[in-house]
Structure 1
Amino acid sequence: MRISQKLAQAHSSPNPPPATFSFEFFVPKTSQGVQNLYDRMDRMYDLNPIFIDITWNAGGRSSSLTNDMVYTAQSTLGLETCMHLTCTNMKVELIDEALQKAYASGCENILALRGDPPLDGSESTGDFKYAKDLIAYIRKNYGDHFNIGVAAYPEGHPEEDLDDLILEYLKEKCDVGADFIITQMFYDADNFILWCDRLRKIGITIPIIPGIMPISTYAAFMRRAKWSEIAIPQHFLDALEPIKDDDFAVRQKGTELVSEMCQKLIDSGHIKHLHFYTMNLERSTIMVLERLNLIEPAKSHEIVGGAELPWRKSLHPSRSKESIRPIFWQNRKFSYITRTATWDEFPNGRWGDSRSPAFGDIDLCATELLRQSPKKAYDLWGSPKSLQDFSKIIILYLQGDLKSLPWSDGPIGDDSAAIIDNLISLNKKGFFTMNSQPSLNAVESSNKIYGWGPKNGYVYQKQYLEFLCHKDTLAKLLDQIDTFNNLKGDNTSSVISYYAVDKLGSLTTNCEEDEINAVTWGVFPGEEILQPTIVERTSFLAWKDEVYRLFTEWVKIFQSNILEIEKSEADEFVNFITKFSDDFVLCNLVSNNFIDENQTIFKLIDALETPDL
């Protein structure tokens, strides 16, 4: 959605927040830095910013990475994204390429900038001299598709001494097609409010969004203020100078000062939205938002209830109406979006065409599936050399002491609390859990942990359990399940449905070939029943490929010797994981009795009397 529309929607609601907010991120220099930033952006999604923006380096350096990050933020993370686009030293061909990629990714917002001039003082060699030229070009070629933002300088521009002329240039950008203004950082609230008055008097009516730079350390605060040539109010200096060597104290006091400045802007009536220059950090920004009491009010501007869906919705245009996903990728949204990007006629019917020749192709994932650097993977998970070691890693994750696993991008969710003790018990017995959900029977859609969808609805879940276990143990378990199902009689056959597959693709199941089992659904007033999470055969086999490839990539880290560890340690790990992936089978179980109290599956496994590892 266009930023101006989102702002209007947020502030015209029956109970609008005092202000909304957004975040700016810059493109990191390393691939692992990019990955870590995705994780940070993912966490900050939960603060519910109106949008984020991603910077563009002058002259087009790292431009392709900017486009990639815009696509990931928009499509995978579900964050409304604004792409910076500078025209200094940019040929029209590069501008066209960047705009087309942004358009294709579903991005509807561009911050059109001139960019920094060449350092040697020469003129730009690009096809556009000023930001207004870039704005006019975007309008000519894309009409109103893009919401276009422009930069402004409340304390003047270093290349121009005359304030009136600076405002005239800003008015020209607005007249040629700008939709909103984002300003340079500042700390003088009184000066900014007077500047806003001047903009309104010369006929600038579009939203003015102040750029807010939180204070994290004294040295960074002073360096950025000097570099941007902005004034620092004396009361800022008086408060920070005595504690400048205490980073913790500076951040605390800086939060107070910046929060007071923001509150003054909001109270002035000119400002309804704050844009934070995060510097790819999160804590300082979050502290300001907390102090302004904006985090909780802002969460209610779009979604009533727990969430829109029980998984993160993509904002890519081809997926915007997606309402159903296989549960297997519940904790792997990055690889799910990448894998399904080219599934034919997506979304076709319920969620995709499994007959497509591209469906489930493991090579669709252009990046490595193991979303950690070798060092980070080693720091997190070490080098397990036995089933006991492997079990301990998963149990640490379940207890909240590890933030990720090779097959789970983020920490364990609160929704697992009801079955966490059972999951820990299973891992001690050699059933290595990968994904699960408890059964739910008519939980209100506003429930903070399990709720999703429109208000006044009810959500339901079948108990789902996915794990790896030894092929010999699995055979005994499936016999036990078949016996259990038969005892229940023909009318309720397959009370427990299952799929099990080994590394080579040998599948065992009690489900029909084209059977689709909804394991999550919701009932809402005046709506069709929504079934957003499913289990079915073809996508499970695609997921199998990903799971076993994760083990392959984990092994490669140790084979490459990039970790510089003892060869004996590396060899032990490689031998263990290689044998593990050969001997262990991927299995999922669904208890179709959703009024069950989450014990049927666990009791069936416990009945095997498998000793602890």
Structure 2
Amino acid sequence: MKIIEHLRRGEFSLSFEFFPPKTQEGEEELFQTILDLRPLNPTFVSVTYGAGGSTRERTRRIAQRIHTETDLTVMVHLTCIAHTKQELLEMLTSYKEMGIQNVLALRGDVPKADDFKPPEGACKHADELVSLIRENFKDYFCVCVASYPEGHPESPNMEWEIKFFKKKVLKGADFSITQMFFDNSYYYEFVELCRKEGINIPIIPGIMPITNFRQIQKFASMCGATIPQSLIDRMEPVAEKPEEVAKIGIEFAIRQCEDLIRNKAPGLHFYTLNKSKATLEVYKAISGLIPRQR
């Protein structure tokens, strides 16, 4: 089923993101996580796609396994910067043949090689990938795109950020999931800027419960997400104590999600890192606030 159909009905969306493991052991651990989270009845789950297409076959295999072995709705990530249009069309065709109808269209990180050049005629930006999907598959796919409440690391300012986000929407994006953030004011301000520019697609906040402080510091520095100083001050003294970090991080994520639900966010998308414990604890605490499905 297309995710946008749920969102258009005003249904609150709960979703989880997974990445393709490198080993068979990791894959089995992932599917245990999926089994752990399945009772939460998510609207969909998503499977990431490595920079430069590095997880191409693994992404496809994991997506197909979830699609065939469970009743979960799957959204596949697809990056375009390192692929020819023909390669992209072949991948999209294979997903259509599987019966998968939801795609997250991304540019992807530019490979770090000094001599890297996109293939001739490639889609160099996500809006071009959205166009490619619409031109060749019409409305078969529900197309999601990324959004950045604090601005993409390459954006000089939020005006620039909104301009490029709007291009993706005008090309046919159905909804968006945000980069992780830890200060809800960035999300609310971003949504307000979008509405003023006539961007009215659902924008689902991306949530990352902190269970490893050093890891999240690295992630945040890479994507430009701000960790509130008050949270840093609490976590720094216990940074090498995983249980303490997780306790504080989960507590913080609960408060963050409660605020987003009360302020009418259309859903919550959890970056799980292929683990279930933190997400389950957050859900248990907020489940009473989640709007009932119609």
In structure 2, distance between residues paired with 1:260 and 1:131: 33
Q: Where in structure 2 are the equivalents of 1:555-570 lying within 5 Å? A: none
Letter in 1 for 2:226: A
Match for residue 22 of structure 2 among 20, 29, 39: 29
In structure 1, distance between residues paired with 2:223 and 2:230: 19
TM-superposition CA deviations, 1:37-56 (whole Å, max 9, x none): 12321231111110000011
SS in structure 1 at match of 2:193: helix
Alignment length (residue pairs): 292
SS in structure 1 at match of 2:16: strand
Q: Which structure has the larger Rg over C-alpha atoms?
A: 1
TM-superposition CA deviations, 1:180-205 (whole Å, max 9, x none): 01111110111221111111110110
The answer to whether residue 2 in structure 2 is matched with residue 7 in structure 1 is no
In structure 2, distance between residues paired with 1:255 and 1:204: 32
In structure 1, distance between residues paired with 2:240 and 2:52: 38
Name the residue aligned to 2:51. 58
How far 1:118 sits from its partner (Å)?
2.1
> Could you say which structure has the higher helix fraction?
2
In structure 1, distance between residues paired with 2:155 and 2:7: 32
The answer to whether residue 245 in structure 2 is matched with residue 250 in structure 1 is yes
Name the residue aligned to 2:266. 272
In structure 1, distance between residues paired with 2:74 and 2:66: 7
In structure 2, distance between residues paired with 1:294 and 1:31: 37
TM-superposition CA deviations, 1:486-542 (whole Å, max 9, x none): xxxxxxxxxxxxxxxxxxxxxxxxxxxxxxxxxxxxxxxxxxxxxxxxxxxxxxxxx
The answer to whether residue 63 in structure 2 is matched with residue 76 in structure 1 is no
Name the residue aligned to 2:285. 291
Match for residue 275 of structure 2 among 259, 266, 281: 281
TM-superposition CA deviations, 1:301-355 (whole Å, max 9, x none): 48xxxxxxxxxxxxxxxxxxxxxxxxxxxxxxxxxxxxxxxxxxxxxxxxxxxxx
Letter in 2 for 1:292: I
Match for residue 123 of structure 1 among 92, 114, 117: 117
SS in structure 2 at match of 1:274: strand
How far 1:32 sits from its partner (Å)?
2.4
Match for residue 239 of structure 1 among 234, 241, 248: 234
Name the residue aligned to 1:259. 254
In structure 1, distance between residues paired with 2:21 and 2:185: 34
How far 1:179 sits from its partner (Å)?
0.2
Structure 1: where are the runs of 5+ without partners?
12-18, 303-613
Contact 1:51 1:82 (C-alpha < 8 Å) held by counterparts: yes
Contact 1:7 1:50 (C-alpha < 8 Å) held by counterparts: no
Match for residue 94 of structure 1 among 87, 112, 127: 87
Name the residue aligned to 2:131. 136
TM-superposition CA deviations, 1:29-85 (whole Å, max 9, x none): 112212321232123111111000001123222312211211111121111000001
Q: Where in structure 2 are the equivalents of 1:293-312 lying within 5 Å? A: 293=287, 301=293
Identity %: 35
TM-superposition CA deviations, 1:566-611 (whole Å, max 9, x none): xxxxxxxxxxxxxxxxxxxxxxxxxxxxxxxxxxxxxxxxxxxxxx
How far 1:294 sits from its partner (Å)?
5.3
In structure 1, distance between residues paired with 2:287 and 2:235: 24
Letter in 2 for 1:287: E
Contact 2:36 2:276 (C-alpha < 8 Å) held by counterparts: no
In structure 1, distance between residues paired with 2:153 and 2:64: 34
In structure 2, distance between residues paired with 1:34 and 1:82: 18
In structure 2, distance between residues paired with 1:236 and 1:294: 25
The answer to whether residue 150 in structure 2 is matched with residue 147 in structure 1 is no
In structure 2, distance between residues paired with 1:294 and 1:58: 38
SS in structure 2 at match of 1:125: coil
Q: Where in structure 2 are the equivalents of 1:189-588 lying within 5 Å? A: 189-269=184-264, 271-293=265-287, 301=293
In structure 2, distance between residues paired with 1:210 and 1:104: 30
In structure 2, distance between residues paired with 1:87 and 1:217: 30
In structure 1, distance between residues paired with 2:107 and 2:151: 16
How far 1:21 sits from its partner (Å)?
1.1
How far 1:10 sits from its partner (Å)?
6.0
SS in structure 2 at match of 1:46: helix
Task: Classify 1:93/1:33 alpha carbon distance in 2 versus 1 (closer, same or farther; 3 Å).
Answer: same
How far 1:238 sits from its partner (Å)?
2.5
Name the residue aligned to 2:107. 114
Question: TM-score when scaled to structure 1?
Answer: 0.46
Contact 1:42 1:77 (C-alpha < 8 Å) held by counterparts: no
The answer to whether residue 146 in structure 2 is matched with residue 161 in structure 1 is no
Contact 2:17 2:47 (C-alpha < 8 Å) held by counterparts: yes
Contact 2:48 2:77 (C-alpha < 8 Å) held by counterparts: yes
How far 1:149 sits from its partner (Å)?
0.5
Letter in 2 for 1:275: H
Contact 1:148 1:177 (C-alpha < 8 Å) held by counterparts: yes
Report runs of 4+ in structure 1 exceeding 6 Å deviation.
Answer: none
Letter in 2 for 1:254: G
Contact 2:15 2:42 (C-alpha < 8 Å) held by counterparts: yes
TM-superposition CA deviations, 1:211-231 (whole Å, max 9, x none): 111111222222222222221
How far 1:158 sits from its partner (Å)?
1.4
TM-superposition CA deviations, 1:404-461 (whole Å, max 9, x none): xxxxxxxxxxxxxxxxxxxxxxxxxxxxxxxxxxxxxxxxxxxxxxxxxxxxxxxxxx
Contact 2:130 2:143 (C-alpha < 8 Å) held by counterparts: yes
How far 1:277 sits from its partner (Å)?
0.5
Task: Classify 1:294/1:150 alpha carbon distance in 2 versus 1 (closer, same or farther; 3 Å).
Answer: farther
